[in-house]
Structure 1
Amino acid sequence: MSVTLRQLGVLVAVVDEGSFGAAADALQMSQSAVSHSVAALESVAGAPLVVRAPTVATTPLGEAVLAHARSALASVRALDATVRRHLEGVAVGPVRLAAGVTASHRLVPELLNRWRVDLPGLDVRLFEGSDDELEAWLETGAVDAAVLVDPNPIPHGAVILARDDFRAVLRSDHPLARETRISLGDLAEDPLLTSTSGCEPQITALHAMAGSDYAPAQRVHETSTLLGMVAAGLGVAIMPALALTMLAKNLVMVELEQHLERTLVFTGPSGRPWHPSVERMRDIAETATTPL
């Protein structure tokens, strides 16, 4: 096969940007050049890789090729950065970092500030996703590093950023809002609101610990929507302690008798060499402390 890195990069851009025109803008190419590049790659593959209308989507073969394209491009980014670090002695980017909602709200901004000061040549680009998406993004090469939740086992070379526990989120006028600690059973009469963007496995485990059925009244995707519903008095939620800074003034967190911790880990991929700047980011993150 005669496949070029440019063709792979164009394919990834078309899928990520959602259209040939947007990919052309992102790559600073003409739209016809983008179309020609994808067509040439499809000619080599012997079959269509993307469906062009009504919206861009990958074919089954295109999805498989896309995974390899991301991995190859991530390896090339790492290779280029390795050579530049050897020649210039500095950490260079861009580096793509994935993290979940609560980590992106509290941990990651603090780290971004540290990296900006200690690694001024680095361009860290944050991609926010659900817990289920992060590891897949990392291993396929969509990102170069990630803040994973409860990886098992903890990847070689990774560092633990923080540990926190799960707590009840209530309106400040809730009868239990002033309690120091409550049981999940105390909330049995309250509608349970949950987010599908992460933490459901841990919340399910908490209900098992309490001997209660996990039966959410509402499941929403966005954490901001979840908190807005609790603030409106539509129910209660269970969230990690790291989300404390996300709460509105009329919301409080209360510790649970069913104690369950989660571990947040900064890591590069396990299936290929790390981007050298990720190693530098890891070393800086290891010295950072974030009280919870």
Structure 2
Amino acid sequence: MGVTLRQLRVLVAVTDHGGFGAAAAVLGMSQSSVSHSLASLERAVQGRLVDRTAPVRPTPLGDVLLPHARATLSAARTFSAAAAAHASAAVAGSIGLAVPPTAARGLLPGLLRLWHEQLPHVEITLFEGLDEEIGQWLESGTVDAAILIDPDPLPHGALHLATDAYEAVVRSDHPLAGEESVELADLLEDPLLATTSGCEAQVKHLHALTGLPYRPTQRIRELTTLLCMVEAGLGVAIVPSLAASMLSDTLALIPLRPRLERRLVLTGPAGRPWHPNVTALRDLSEKHAATPPVLAQD
């Protein structure tokens, strides 16, 4: 078919940045070269890949082929990095890392500081997303590594970074705020505000453990918005304890009974070789882990 990596880069850039001009700026190409490359790719696959209206969107064929383009480009980057690593232990380059919101706030700052100090040649681009998005980004090649929540099975080579638990968040003047722990049933005397940003499945499971129906009053995507609503006295919520770094002084976390934990795991893709710098991040994190790491078995 004669498809080139340059054409695939153009397709991804045009769709990610919503236009030919923006893609040209990112790729360091002229807009006419971008247009020509995409047209050549469309001739090769015998179909239109994007609708050329602003903002540019992929066609149904583009939606089918984009994941393959991303995976191919990721594999090409990894190939080049592996070849460079054969000659030098320190491979300069950029990798994409996807993280869920609570890990981005409560866990990532310390990791980034460690990685920057010990691996200054590695440039890390962050992508924050929901649990299901992160898994898709990792396997499609949009990112090279991810922090996953409770992956089952544990991917080969993955590193268990941390474990935290789901806790109640209430206003600091709430009657339950001074308790050492609280039963889920007692918490639900107030309206329940639920976040859809990756925690909802576990919160539903917590309800199932106690035989209580899951009936949130509101379902909110952004965790920061959820906390603002609790702060305004509109209800209570259940969040991972790593969210403590996001709380204002007017909010309090209380351990829940029954206790439900989650594992945060650093991993590369399951379906293809890891970028050498992802392995380097994993190895450095394992070496400096405060608790014994849990690695997937061969």
Same fold (TM over 0.5): yes
Q: CA deviation at 1:290?
A: 5.8
Matched, 1:31 2:31: yes
Q: 1:213 is matched with which residue?
A: 213
Contact kept in structure 1, 2:18 and 2:54, CA below 8 Å: no
Q: CA deviation at 1:222?
A: 1.0
Q: Which runs of 5+ in 2 are unaligned?
A: 292-298
Q: 1:104 is matched with which residue?
A: 104
Q: CA deviation at 1:14?
A: 1.2
Q: CA deviation at 1:148?
A: 0.4
Tell me the distance in 2 between the aligned counterparts of 1:288 and 1:190. Answer: 42
Q: CA deviation at 1:54?
A: 4.2
Q: Which moved more, 1:180-189 or 1:275-284?
A: 180-189
Q: How does 1:137-286 map to 2 (within 5 A)?
A: 137-286=137-286
Q: Deviations over 1:229-248 (max 9, x none)?
A: 11111111100011111101
Matched, 1:48 2:48: yes
Q: Which moved more, 1:85-94 or 1:221-230?
A: 85-94
SS at match of 2:186: helix
Tell me the distance in 1 between the aligned counterparts of 2:218 and 2:280. Answer: 42
SS at match of 2:93: coil
Q: CA deviation at 1:150?
A: 0.5
Q: CA deviation at 1:258?
A: 1.5
The one-letter code matched in structure 2 to 1:41 is L
Tell me the distance in 1 between the aligned counterparts of 2:48 and 2:125. Answer: 31
Contact kept in structure 2, 1:91 and 1:119, CA below 8 Å: no
The one-letter code matched in structure 1 to 2:66 is L
Change (3 A) 1:123 1:56: same
Contact kept in structure 1, 2:106 and 2:244, CA below 8 Å: no
Tell me the distance in 1 between the aligned counterparts of 2:152 and 2:183. Answer: 28
* RMSD of aligned alpha carbons: 1.2
Q: 1:125 is matched with which residue?
A: 125
Q: TM-score, normalised by structure 1?
A: 0.97
Q: 1:59 is matched with which residue?
A: 59
Over 4 Å off, 4+ runs: none
Matched, 1:83 2:83: yes
Aligned residues: 291
Q: TM-score, normalised by structure 2?
A: 0.95
The one-letter code matched in structure 2 to 1:233 is G
Q: Deviations over 1:163-203 (max 9, x none)?
A: 11100000001110101111111122311111211111100
Q: Which moved more, 1:184-193 or 1:132-141?
A: 184-193
Q: Deviations over 1:14-70 (max 9, x none)?
A: 111122221111112222221211111111111111112243221221112111110
